[in-house]
Structures are given as C-alpha cells and as structure tokens.
Structure 1
C-alpha cells in the first residue's frame, strides 16, 4: 500500500471513530475563500463547493495600490477578473443564493509587487487624508452592494496593521458610516500576530483573524506536535474573545502541502520543493480537532478554492486542498459537524 493510500485510509478511520464531545454544536461557518472567476460562475463549479459541505463562501473584490506609500486605490475596473467586480459579485451571489450558500464579502487591497498590506504607511498628512478618502470610497461602495445583495457578513479590511494603528479614528468613523447602509454582521481580518492590537473590535460583530499561526518546526508534523503548538494560541484567543465578549472567526486559514507547512504557514512564495500532502492534512486535522468546537469560535474560511478545480494548478505544493487528501479531511469534517447540528 503506497503512502498516499495509507494517508487516505488513516483519514477515513479517524473520522469513523471521531465524535465531538464539546458543548458547542451550534452551526459554524464552514467557509471557503473563492478565487475570483475570470467569467461568470457556473452552477457546476458551485456544486463542487456543496460536495465538501461548505455553507459559506468568501468573495474578494480586490483593489490595487501602486506602492505602500502611495494613496491611490484602483478597483472595480473592466480589466479586472469578473469575480472581483461589482457585476461579478452580484452574479456570484445570485448563484450561491440558489444553492443556499451564504457569503462574506471581503474587500482586499493588493500592492504591486506583492508588498505586504500591513506595511501601508503614508509619509505626510495630505497623503493620509487622500488614502482615507480613497479607502472609504472603496469600502462604502462594496458595503452598499453587500446591503443590496443581502450579504450575511461584510469584512471592512484585510491585514492593514499600520493603517489601522496609525488612523484608528478614521476606521471608527468608517464603521459608523458602514452601519448606516449595511445591517449584516461586520468583521475585520487582521493577521494572526497583531490581532490583539486592533483598536475597534468593540464596534464589530466578530474578531476576524487570518490564522496562519506557527505550530511546529517539524518537516511532517504529527497531530501530537501540532496540538502542543496550538496551546498558547488557543488560550490567547479564548481569553481575548472573553475580554471582548465576541466570537472569533478565521477570515482565512490554510496550510500548504509542503514540508514544514506548520512552521511558517503565512509564506506563499513559489517554492519548487516537492509536495507533502501528509503535512497539509495533519495541519488541517489539528485545527479541526483543537479549535473548531470551541464555543468562542464561530468558524472560518479555508484559503483557497479555485472555481475550475485543481487540475489546472501546477504548483501542487501550494494552499489549495482540491484533489488532494486534505479535501477528504474538509469534506468529512464538515459533513460530520453538519449532521451533529441537525440531530440537535
């Protein structure tokens, strides 16, 4: 029996013998982060999401900045991929509605050359004011769309640490403006290492974390290694959620199918190392075992899901779980938890 077959057999045996004994059985967010489609989303593509028992999709209308020190924001352009535009979001939402899948709308900035959005800082007050106006236009446009489409969750930003800590009053004013036009749940997606520094969690409904926590320095971490790695992060989130009296949602989570995938899960370089499916599978299982059933945890959105499936993806050591053993992990875990909720 080859190693891949052993891995799939082990996943099956794990779920056959696994039942949640935690007190929290309410319906969680079983979400996937949908890569923007180049064209209209097809019903066959959405049915692939249903097969893994997901009940939420994150749609991400990207906007673009020239540099971390330049205030201009470009978005909703015809030359963008269809799924990143307001027209595309509307088409996607209509189709997802027809199949009873809810949506989080998660506008995200992308800085040219892949510079980290958490480092966006203006060099003078005039540029800060210009950035605030540009960002407000961007967010309020999509908040209005979220309201029109009756979207369940709206995320006001993603990994904007320096912007947030330098201009907290702007974000508090922005949240008030969003509340006047959008009446669903609000969150913000902050990076795993600085989420406790966000100054406006009290104004939102969920504490949003992009959950790329370091868990293990081993090449192929075991579930025991990973459980130990979760302990400090789990306790910190539990205490912070209690302090803020809000649930945590993982606005992103995921692991590459590569050696040392639990060491620095945030890394997304195009490494040419061989795929390690077992490492990815163990990391996902550890998250589901150690975090998912906690009462302070609302669920999360797996990074990332391609509408066209996994066949076109040559980098098989990257984040997607499609057509890998980890897809079985996701499918069986979500199915099991959905069944438990229906039995209550």
Structure 2
C-alpha cells in the first residue's frame, strides 16, 4: 500500500470490511539500472505514500483504526527490471551500494521504531545481492536490531527462500509466494491445491528445520488466463480477463495454507487505497478489489 495521496477512514473502511488486521506499507527507493550503486529515496518527486512523511501518515491512520503494520522498503529499478538481478561491476560500486542501501533501510527502521510498526522487512527479492555479499547482510541485521526492536523478516522470492542464509537472524521466513501451480487456462481449485502441495512440503521442511514460522510477505494472482502458470508475470500483453482463474487460485491458496499453525499470515498483492475505483470486472491486474476474489479473501480473513 502506497499512493500519491493521503488517506482517510474512507480509504481504510474497505480494509476493515474484509477483516484485514495488517497492512504492508512500501516506501520505494530507486536506482537507474541493475548496476547503479546509489539509491534515490524520500524525494519530493516521489508519490506521497512512498516518502517518510507519507509512511508516517499512512501508519498513523491505519493504527488509529486498529490495523497492525509491516514496513517493507523496496527498490525499484528503472524500466521495472528484476531486483534479484542487481549486481555491481566493481568492488568500489559494491561498497557504495551497500552504504546507500544501509542508509535507506536504517532510515525506515528508525521510522518503524518511532511509529511502533509491528514488523520490519529488511529487503525484497534481492537474491544476487545476498549471494554476493552475505557478510554485509549479517552486519546489516545487527545494525537494524540496534535501531528497531520489533519483529524482522525478509521478502524472499518463491525460488530464493531456501537459499537465504540469514533466516536464523530474523523472526519470520518471509516468502513472496508466486509459486507456479497450474498450466490450465482457467485453473480449478483442486488443480491449484495439487500444484501448491509440492511447495507446501518444501516450506514446511524449511520451517521445521529453522524453527521459524512462514510469513507470506506477498501473495496473489492476476485475473487473467493461465494465472497460475507463472504468477509473477506482470506483462501487460496478458490482456484476457479471467476472474474465475484468479478466484480459484486464491481459494486454493487459502485452503492450502490458512489453517496451518506454522503460517503466521500473509499480505495480499496488491491493494490500492482508493477502493471505489480499484480493480473491477474488466481489470487484469493483481488486485482482488471489486472482483469475486475479494469475497474469497473476506471469507477467510473473517475466520482467522
């Protein structure tokens, strides 16, 4: 949740209506390309909700209405290139990038402590950065712990989490759960549950070995044909609306995971602040708003 505007109770009421008790607030930092070492953030050119002032405003409004908070700072690479491929070309650039990332994360860790956020996410889908600089991450977690006293997680991509080396330093195994589950044009609930079974077994094994609960830092499906085949795709050429595909995949996800005691919960991708104009029956994007999938989420959230 982050937008160009401030929010009021009008924007929060739809969250309460689906029985949500947590929201993920995502301030963004930007880099020019996958090897650019300087993160630009908290800029006047950014949307209000992506800045420190906006984050504080959002959280105050949400907490006033009884909603708990995860702050999840994220990097956006120009042209939407995948953050997991971020790799510096020289040692000097790696050092500059580490310094820039540390400043970015610690600034928002201080905000998280100041406003009493319940969870702080230390990064999102940064596989190559972690693989190349593991010692940096261990030291970064120490620095964050000195600033922020709440729960910590990291948002690992679905095919990255079982190689992430520092789960023992965090409170939750964070997973962006875009697992491929079905090749069907309109996947059935049973087909998606069958497809999720493999991933559920692997996650449970990781959970048991680390003795940490799993938190789905992102999960969701687009309302398009083949929504369960490669759920991470954001390609706008996938333009055929399929509300049933989204509904079935969402139903299967909840039926597979929601009653498991090793699952701490999850954050729907993606919820827009202006519910009245978001989503709808002609929308192909991830949001479940004003689509049949919203009722599925409401039903399951009401039982938790």
Same fold (TM over 0.5): yes
Match of 1:334 in 2: 301
Structure 1 CA distance for aligned equivalents of residues 38 and 87 of structure 2: 12
SS of the aligned residue for 2:117 comes to coil
d(CA) in 2 for partners of 1:206, 1:77: 30
Matched ranges for 1:295-334 at <5 A: 295-309=261-275, 311=277, 316-334=283-301
SS in 1 for 2:223: coil
1:269 positional shift = 1.1
Contact 2:70 2:118 in 1 (8 A): yes
Partner of 2:111: 145
The alignment partner of 1:336 has SS state of coil
Q: Secondary structure at the match of 2:302?
A: helix
Bigger RCO of structures 1 and 2 (CA < 8 A, at least 6 apart): 1
How well do the aligned residues superpose, as a CA RMSD in angstroms?
1.1
Mapped to 1, the partners of 2:303 and 2:112 lie a distance apart of: 31
Computing the radius of gyration from Cα coordinates, the structure with the larger value is 1
State the Cα distance separating 1:273 from its structure 2 match: 2.5
Structure 1 residue 151, shift from structure 2 partner: 0.4
SS state of the match for residue 156, structure 2?
strand
Q: CA deviation at 1:272?
A: 5.0
- Distance in structure 2 (CA, Å) of the matches to 1:312 and 1:301: 17
Matches within 5 A, 1:44-59: 44-59=10-25
- Which residue does 1:271 correspond to in 2? 237
> Partners in 1 of 2:276 and 2:123 — Cα distance?
28
CA distance in 1, matches of 2:125, 2:78: 16
How many aligned positions are there? 303
Residues 1:208 and 2:174 aligned together: yes
Alignment of 1:230-245 (within 5 A): 230-245=196-211
Q: Which TM-score applies when normalising by structure 1?
A: 0.86
Cα offset, 1:310, TM superposition: 5.3
For 2:164, the equivalent position in structure 1 comes to: 198
User: Structure 1 pair 153/44, CA: closer, same or farther in 2 (3 Å)?
Assistant: same
Matched, 1:260 2:226: yes
Aligned pairs for 1:72-221 (under 5 A) are 72-221=38-187
Runs of 4 or more consecutive aligned structure 1 residues displaced over 6 Å after TM superposition: none
TM-superposed deviation, 1:336 = 2.5
Unmatched 5+ stretches in structure 2: none
Uncovered stretches (5+) of structure 1, i.e. residues with no partner: 1-33, 338-344
Q: Per the alignment, in what secondary structure is the counterpart of residue 133 of structure 1?
A: helix
